[in-house]
A and B are shown apart, each in its own frame.
Chain A
Amino acid sequence: MSKILQVENLVQEFNLTKDFLDKVKFKKGHFSLENRVVHAVNDVSFDVEQGEVFSLVGESGCGKSTTARTIIKLIEPKSGKIIFDGRDITRLKPQEMRPIRREMQMIFQDPYASLNPRQKIMEILTEPMLFHKLCSSKAEAEEKAIHLLERVGLSSEQANRYPHQFSGGQRQRIGIARALAVEPKFIIADEPVSALDVSIQAQILNILMDLKDEFHFSYLFIAHDLSVVKHISDSLGVMYLGSIVERAPKKLLFSNPVHPYTKALFSAAPTIDEGNIAESQELRGEIPSPIHLPSGCPFHDRCPVACPDCAREVPGFKEVEPGHFAACHLL
């Protein structure tokens, strides 16, 4: 099976002190120049096989959304390589990206911000089709749009309405339909159910799984909720402070998590049938700021089993079983 996406050593940073004046600081009696850089993504590498669902999981600030937005070139990567369907798209310019954009699409997180409030649903759905000239006429595009709407569980009369007339779950369905409009090979879903109620989440996840089976595309799924990704993923990567700390196929990761952070994440996720809260394992401390990354392993200051090496050296990936990788010195 070939790979639809290969991400190699991706790095993304945001410089908060672009202006000269922002850099000037007055500390302890004298002036100095200081650069404040947010190290959002630090040397991230992973692959997505064709037809597979790969999920990136982590808490806020871990860099998963930034990684997704960099891969789809909404922001230009600082360094590293993005190889999509065999083609290196890292340095492509917007005009060159245009034909490739037909093949990779995105579903966004906030159903209340991902649809233009001034556009009717029909227009939202036909816009990408007409832009990429996938239909010979507007009428054809409109017909396709109605099919898409029905495929995601809405009705054709609703195509003439505006987004504000729909609920969060319905808007998310429209967002999915929009992503499908250009018949992409690869879809990045950036926390598509986080903003929805639990019962609606299940509906949307089911739609996403059904569509994948029907249209055979590949997914990069971003989420912070482990239980959500368990259903939809084939493989997962757990991220912390801009790095992937563990990466494995679903069965292996859920049956045998090895990285201390992954284990803490599992333990912290509230589940039914678990015992009382007083007995759960607790991770101490706060998530550090990505501006001042801890030295060595990013997790060492909160890790319950950290050793002196952890603060000194960044751990590399070790293969703990075939296909199952973790970045920890203690393995």
Chain B
Amino acid sequence: MGEMKKMGAAPNKSLFRRLAESEFFHNYKRSPSAIIGTVIVVLVLFIALFGPLFAPQNPYDVASLSLTDSYKPPAWEAGGDARFIFGTDSQGRDIFSSLIYGSRISLFIGVVGTLLACAVGITLGLISGYFGGRVDAIIMRLADILLSFPDILVALFIMTMFGRGVSKLLVVFTIIGCVTYIRTVRAEVLTVKQMEYVDAARVIGIPNILIIAKHVLPNVMTTVIVLSTMKVGGLILAEATLSFLGVGVPVTEPSLGMLVKNGFDVLFSGYWWIAVMPGLYIMLIVFGINLLGDFLRDEFNPKLK
């Protein structure tokens, strides 16, 4: 048996080194879309977090606004003002600054909404997949029902009952968003459940709750991560749509979608930048997230190897 000691797997390395030397990082370095996606996402996050520190103007500070600055076109157009790179809106608010502040709300809703949907979805998916039987049937029928509601209807319902606001919108997104998680997690759990290491845990005598927490959940997380990256993008778009239709965020908390709505009203008067700039920014954010999400999904898919 002594000779076995000389043979074996590679010596231990720190997590950072393992990551840096891994196949994942190797493929990452070679994927232009992944790098571009990361750059965009990091930039957007940076702007959202630290934007207010360097924004030329705080669009919510009424005192800093001046009506004489209203409807100025972007700086590169005739009539533009160098102070306002992307122009101003009807109140004289700098569009560029509005984008910074608006993205904070959009991203907040996107990220927190995803986290909430994820938490609820994972829990229900785990229970449904692991225990099966009647519990599974009930949860899946619930998911089917939830899936058949259009987002707008759910949003309208919640708004009517509980009023408008970011927190209500988060409830809407949790309800609608959790369904994908429930289904995907359940499917993964069904596979993991068949694995012999789950049997081994049961043979040791470990109760179901602990098995789910220690053996099933960690093996389901890769799918959850990939799903979540895509979902953030999806929720940002969903929020933009709902706000545009007037059933999203309240006027006092203008997300990017709300900015598009404000701009839409005057779009046909020729003041295109007020709607188009936030629209483009939404596109950029979601594009970056999708690039990154696509790369992660392909990397984590064992079948493509």
Contact = CB atoms under 8 A, between A and B. Distances in A.
Q: Chain B, interface size: which category?
A: 20 to 34
B228 to A, nearest CB: 18
A101 B207 CA distance: 12
B150 interface: no
B204 A153 contact: no
Given A101-B205, A116-B215, A131-B205, A153 B4 contact: yes
A166 interface: yes
Given A113-B196, A155-B4, A165 B10 contact: yes
Contacts, number: 78
A166 B9 CA distance: 6
A44 to B, nearest CB: 20
B12 A114 contact: no
Interface in B176-231: 195-197, 199-207, 214-215, 218-219
A118 B8 CA distance: 19
A170 B1 CA distance: 12
29 contacts: A94-B207, A97-B205, A98-B205, A101-B204, A102-B205, A105-B203, A106-B199, A108-B200, A113-B196, A114-B200, A115-B197, A116-B214, A116-B215, A116-B218, A116-B219, A128-B204, A132-B205, A153-B1, A153-B4, A154-B5, A155-B4, A155-B5, A157-B8, A157-B12, A161-B9, A165-B10, A166-B9, A178-B200, A182-B204
Interface in A149-168: 150, 153-155, 157-158, 160-161, 165-166
A113 B197 contact: yes
Nearest to A160: B12
B11 interface: yes
A74 B193 CA distance: 13
Interface string B93-124: 00000000000000000000000000000000
Contacts of B202: 74
Interface string B34-64: 0000000000000000000000000000000
A166 B10 CA distance: 10
Given A106-B203, A116-B201, A127-B201, 18 more contacts: A74-B202, A94-B207, A105-B203, A109-B196, A110-B196, A113-B195, A114-B196, A114-B197, A114-B200, A116-B197, A127-B204, A131-B206, A132-B204, A153-B1, A157-B8, A161-B12, A165-B10, A175-B200
